[in-house]
C-alpha cells in the first residue's frame, strides 16, 4: 500500500472553493477549484448557497483525492472565508437560510443600536472586535429574527450555527461533529478571546442560545473522521483555521512582530503579538492568530475591503484592461501617476477608518491623465492602504515593522511588490508557495496527526522566492504618502 505522505487542504473562500494536496515539504501536488456564485438579494446584502458550497467542496475534494490517490492522503485540513454564518436544522442537516456572507451589511441597524447603547468597550474588551456587521453575531441574530419559526426552534435546541468551517465539518463527518477552531470562533463576536470560550453576556446581547454553538478546539486537533458516504473515504480532519489565520501559519509567522499580508479580493494584514492580546487604540482588530500545541498566539489585524477587487473593477467595470496581469506593464509605462490618486472605497473604508459611508474617488485628474496613470493609481492605492495599517500596528504594539511576508493572487505583480517595499521602507518577502492559506491548513493538519512534530519543523518549510528591497528616496516616499492622506481626508463621510 502507498505511504500516506500527503495532506489535503480544503480552502473554501469567498469567490471559490479549492482543494490542494501538499507534500510535507509544503510543495503542492495536485489541486482543483470551483468558482462560487455570489447572491445579491438586496442593496448591501451578500449571500452564498450552503448546498452549493457543499457540492463544490465534495467535487474538488474528490477530484484531488482521485488525482493523488486517496491512500496517499494522511489527513484533511479545512480553511475558510471567515465570519460568514450558516444556521441549519440538526436533524435534517438542511440550512434554514442562505449563508450570510462577511461582506453583508444587513446587521448595520443592530450595530447602530449596540453602539448607541454604549456596548463597544465591553465588546472590544471581550472579543477584540469593533462593533460592525462584518462579524457573525448580527448575522445569526438576523436569521433568528427573520426566518419563520427559527427562534423557537433554536430555543428548543433544534438548530445549529456554524461558520463555513463548522458547516463543512458537520457535513464531512456525516453530522457527527459540531466543532470550530479558536480563530473562526474569535470572529463571531460571541467568543471571549481571553478564555477562548463563548461568552454568556454576549450570547444574551445577541439573543443566541448556547445550544446552537459548536465546540471550540485548537487549530491542530482531532476534528473527527470523514464519513465515507460523503467523500468515499474515511480520513481524519486534523486541522482547521480561518483563512487569514491559516495564512499566518502558512507564512510561518510564529514569532511576535512577524507580519503577513494577503492580497486577494481584499487585503488582510496580521501581526503576531505573542501570548498576550493587544487591544487596539487605532481601530485595528485583536484576534486569535492560532492555538497550536497548547500555545495561543494573538494578532492585531487590519482589513482592507478592496485590493485585487480594484483591479477587477478596472477590468470588468471600466474595461481599461483585459487581464489583471496587464496592470504591471501599464504601471511601469509611466514615471508616476502625475498626482492622481484612486481611493477605492467602493463599499466604505475598512481599517483603520471604519467609515461605511465613505465612497471612492479619483482625484487629481489633468488633461495628461491616461489609462496608465489610472491603473497605476489603483495599484498604488493597495500599497498606501497597507501603509495606513502598518502605521496603526506600530502605534498599537510599539513594534517596529522589520519586514512583511506577502501572499494572495495580487503578489504576482512585481511592480506592486516593489512599490510596496518603497512605500513602507521595509523588505517584502514573497514565498515560493503563494497559496499560503491552504498550506497553513495543511500544516495544522500535519501537526494534528503528528506528521510534523512542532512549529519549528513547520517553519522550516517556508521558502522565499524573492525579496523586494526598498529603493525610493525618503522625501519622495513621504510626499506620495502625504498626497494619499489628503485624498483620504477628502472622501471621509
Ligand X SMILES: O=P(O)(O)OC[C@H](O)CO
Ligand Y SMILES: Nc1ncnc2c1ncn2[C@@H]1O[C@H](COP(=O)(O)OP(=O)(O)O)[C@@H](O)[C@H]1O
Binding residues for glycerol: 82-83, 134, 243-244
Query: CB of residue 327 vs ligand Y: minimum separation in angstroms?
Result: 5
Q: Which does 410 bind (CB under 5 to 8 A by kind): ligand X, ligand Y, none?
A: ligand Y
**226 neighbors 78 (Cβ within 8 angstroms):** no
Asked if 264 interacts with ligand Y (CB under 6 A), we say yes
Asked if 13 interacts with ligand Y (CB under 6 A), we say yes
Q: What are phi and psi of 441, to 5 degrees?
A: -65, -40
Q: How many residues bind ligand Y (CB under 6 A)?
A: 19
The cell for 141 is 441574530
Residue list 81-140, contact with ligand X (CB under 6 A): 81-83, 102
Asked if 408 interacts with ligand Y (CB under 6 A), we say yes
Asked if 344 interacts with ligand Y (CB under 6 A), we say no
- The upper half-sphere exposure of residue 58, i.e. CA atoms within 13 Å in the direction of its Cβ, equals 18
* Closer to ligand Y by Cβ: residue 92 or 333: 333
The window from 57-65, 97-105, 296-304, 409-417 that contacts ligand Y (CB under 6 A) reads 409-417
Please give the radius of gyration of the chain, using alpha carbons only, rounded to the nearest integer. Answer: 22
User: Using the rule CB under 6 A, which residue among 104, 158, 181, 243 binds ligand X?
Assistant: 243
Cα dist. 145→132, 139, 142, 297 in Å? 18, 10, 5, 36
Q: Where does 289-435 have alpha helices with state H?
A: 308-312, 326-332, 371-397, 414-424
The window from 41-49, 241-249, 276-284, 452-460 that contacts ligand X (CB under 6 A) reads 241-249
Q: Which does 83 bind (CB under 5 to 8 A by kind): ligand Y, ligand X, none?
A: ligand X
User: Using the rule CB under 6 A, which residue among 153, 172, 309, 358 binds ligand Y?
Assistant: 309
Rounded to whole angstroms, the Cα distance separating 330 from 56 reads 36
Q: Which does 81 bind (CB under 5 to 8 A by kind): ligand X, ligand Y, none?
A: ligand X
Rounded to whole angstroms, the Cα distance separating 302 from 384 reads 13
Beta bridge partners of 162: 86
Asked if 244 interacts with ligand X (CB under 6 A), we say yes
Question: 66: helix, coil or strand?
Answer: helix
The window from 24-32, 78-86, 233-241, 485-493 that contacts ligand X (CB under 6 A) reads 78-86
Query: CB of residue 244 vs ligand X: minimum separation in angstroms?
Result: 5
Rounded to whole angstroms, the Cα distance separating 316 from 447 reads 42
Q: Which does 282 bind (CB under 5 to 8 A by kind): ligand Y, ligand X, none?
A: none
Other C-beta atoms closer than 10 Å to the C-beta of 469 total 12
Rounded to whole angstroms, the Cα distance separating 412 from 58 reads 29
Query: CB of residue 352 vs ligand Y: minimum separation in angstroms?
Result: 21
**377 neighbors 401 (Cβ within 8 angstroms):** no
Query: Helices 120-127 & 108-116, crossing angle to 10 degrees?
Result: 110
Kindly list the residues in this chain that would bind ligand X in the complex (CB under 6 A): 13-14, 81-83, 102, 242-244, 264-266
Kindly list the residues in this chain that would bind ligand Y in the complex (CB under 6 A): 13-16, 264-265, 308-309, 311-312, 324-325, 327-328, 408-410, 412-413
Amino acid at each position: 500500500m502507498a505511504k500516506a505522505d500527503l495532506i489535503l487542504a480544503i480552502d473554501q473562500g469567498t469567490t471559490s472553493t479549492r482543494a490542494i494536496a501538499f507534500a510535507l515539504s509544503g510543495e503542492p501536488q495536485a489541486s482543483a477549484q470551483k468558482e462560487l456564485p455570489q447572491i445579491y438579494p438586496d442593496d448591501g446584502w451578500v449571500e452564498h448557497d450552503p448546498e452549493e458550497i457543499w457540492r463544490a467542496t465534495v467535487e474538488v475534494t474528490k477530484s484531488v483525492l482521485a488525482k493523488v490517490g486517496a491512500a496517499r492522503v494522511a489527513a484533511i485540513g479545512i480553511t475558510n472565508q471567515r465570519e460568514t454564518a450558516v444556521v441549519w436544522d440538526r436533524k435534517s442537516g438542511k440550512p434554514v437560510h442562505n449563508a450570510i456572507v462577511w461582506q453583508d451589511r444587513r446587521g448595520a441597524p443592530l450595530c447602530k443600536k449596540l453602539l448607541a447603547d454604549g456596548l463597544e468597550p465591553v465588546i472590544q474588551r471581550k472579543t477584540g472586535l469593533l462593533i460592525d456587521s462584518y462579524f457573525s453575531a448580527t448575522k445569526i441574530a438576523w436569521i433568528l429574527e427573520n426566518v419563520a419559526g427559527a427562534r423557537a426552534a433554536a430555543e428548543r435546541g433544534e438548530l445549529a450555527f456554524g461558520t463555513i468551517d463548522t458547516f463543512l465539518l458537520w457535513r464531512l463527518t456525516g453530522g457527527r461533529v459540531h466543532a470550530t477552531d479558536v480563530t473562526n470562533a474569535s470572529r463571531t463576536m460571541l467568543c471571549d478571546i481571553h478564555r477562548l470560550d463563548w461568552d454568556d453576556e454576549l450570547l444574551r446581547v445577541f439573543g443566541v442560545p448556547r445550544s446552537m454553538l459548536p465546540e471550540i478546539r485548537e487549530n491542530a486537533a482531532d476534528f473527527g473522521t470523514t464519513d465515507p458516504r460523503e467523500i468515499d473515504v474515511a480520513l481524519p480532519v486534523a486541522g482547521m483555521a480561518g483563512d487569514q489565520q491559516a495564512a499566518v501559519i502558512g507564512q510561518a509567522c510564529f514569532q511576535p512582530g512577524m507580519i503577513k499580508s494577503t492580497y486577494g479580493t481584499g487585503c488582510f494584514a496580521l501581526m503576531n503579538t505573542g501570548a498576550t492580546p493587544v487591544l487596539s487604540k487605532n481601530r485595528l482588530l485583536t484576534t486569535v492568530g492560532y492555538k497550536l500545541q497548547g500555545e495561543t498566539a494573538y494578532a492585531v489585524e487590519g482589513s482592507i475591503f478592496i485590493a485585487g477587487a480594484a483591479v477587477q473593477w478596472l477590468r470588468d467595470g471600466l474595461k481599461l484592461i483585459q487581464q489583471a496581469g496587464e496592470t504591471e506593464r501599464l504601471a511601469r509605462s509611466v514615471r508616476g501617476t502625475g498626482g492622481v490618486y484612486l481611493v477605492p472605497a467602493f463599499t466604505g473604508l475598512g481599517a483603520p477608518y471604519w467609515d461605511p459611508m465613505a465612497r471612492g474617488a479619483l482625484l487629481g485628474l489633468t488633461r495628461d491623465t491616461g489609462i496608465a496613470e489610472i491603473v497605476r493609481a489603483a495599484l498604488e492605492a493597495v500599497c498606501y492602504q497597507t501603509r495606513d495599517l502598518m502605521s496603526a500596528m506600530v502605534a498599537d504594539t510599539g513594534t517596529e515593522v522589520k519586514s512583511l511576508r506577502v501572499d494572495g493572487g495580487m503578489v504576482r505583480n512585481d511592480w506592486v511588490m516593489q512599490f510596496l517595499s518603497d512605500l513602507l521602507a521595509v523588505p517584502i518577502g514573497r514565498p515560493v508557495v503563494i497559496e499560503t492559506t491552504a498550506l497553513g491548513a495543511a500544516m495544522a493538519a500535519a501537526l494534528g496527526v503528528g506528521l510534523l512534530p512542532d512549529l519549528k519543523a513547520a517553519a522550516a518549510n517556508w521558502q522565499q522566492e524573492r525579496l523586494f528591497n526598498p529603493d525610493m528616496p525618503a522625501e519622495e516616499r513621504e510626499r506620495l504618502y502625504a498626497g494619499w492622506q489628503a485624498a483620504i481626508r477628502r472622501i471621509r463621510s
